[in-house]
Amino acid sequence: MNNSDIAIQVNPHLTISNYLSTENESDVLHEILDGLKAEQKYISSRFFYDEKGSALFEEITSLPEYYPTKTETAILKANATNIPGHYTNIDIIELGSGDCTKISVLLDAVQKNRMKHINYIPVDVSEAAVLKSADILSLKYPGLTIHGLLADFLKHLDQLPGEQKRLICFFGSTLGNLDRKQATNFLMNLKRIMNPGDQLILGLDMVKDSSILHKAYNDSQEITARFNKNILNVINEIIQTDFDTHNFEHYAFYNEQEARIEMHLKAAKDMRISSPLFVEKIDIKAGETIHTENSHKFTLADIRKFETLTGLKIQNIYTDKEQWFSLVSFINI
């Protein structure tokens, strides 16, 4: 692994490498400002996940309306022993790891005497999420070696370890946050750093009735609304803006033409946003939206197209009886 000087050994079984600390603060500022000055204002969804945002997302995954996590976890439980083959001398890399619920399902299928031959590498922008998961997994699976990467997987793929066979897990349909071209490019970049025999387990939320999708992103307890609005608190912390979350409404809808849920924050009144870090004010009109996330939904044809465009070979497609969600097993040949 490169840049070993940024790795901190927390205990004999846990090391943390922080690649986010190498980001230029000016670049982050300009990334945010570019989005807020665009004709359709936007904030990258990577800024959702401070400590509070990560906790709110964990709450979302337990909501009765939010089917993706429950459905994907059930698929994992039904197929855990088949997905990775032999758990010997393997790096299990989880991109956008979040909490440790799903990876625990896979690790539960490992024989205890093989645990010492596995390295688990959670990759996430949230330090709180990585540390919390590491604490839980270290207790639950004695002998498991954990090397957490604080990283943006879109920018830091080259930092993934490659010394032994790898099982790369990309759960939660996080790929759906990218547009179709970005998703294909990301998978092609991932294939580029994969060795022959490396596997990718890709979670994909499938196209379904729009009413089911609407409820999943507009829950009755308004936890998703709190999660969406919290991104403004994160931006305030990073670039010292004066956003007031009370001046925005959560707005999520299914864009059928693009086959995606769009999440926005809609301004309830005219406002002018300022920061001591930049001179120019940001004017936002009542009714104007800030786009915070896309969540694309997929079809079987999309999955086959990924295989054709990337050269990754489909080994299996695991799904639920309603075919609401799919776990696709790819191998690099």
Report the alpha-carbon distance of residue 142 to residue 174 in Å, rounded: 29
294 compared with 116, residue with greater pLDDT? 294
pLDDT at 4 over 50: no
Domains and CATH numbers, the chain: 40-52+210-296 (no CATH), 72-209+299-331 (3.40.50.150)
- pTM assigned to the model: 0.92
- Note the pLDDT of residue 86: 64
Judged against a pLDDT cut of 50, whether residue 299 lies above it is answered with: yes
The residue-averaged pLDDT of 86-108 equals: 89
Region 101-125 average pLDDT: 91
Q: What is the mean pLDDT of residues 291-307?
A: 98
pLDDT tier at 85, thresholds 50, 70, 90? low
pLDDT at residue 81, as a whole number: 87
pLDDT of residue 3: 47
Q: Which amino acid is at 194?
A: M
Paired tokens of 157? 């793929």
- Mean pLDDT for 144-172 is 92
Q: 227-285 pLDDT, tens per residue? A: 999 999 999 999 999 999 999 999 999 999 999 999 999 999 999 999 999 999 999 99
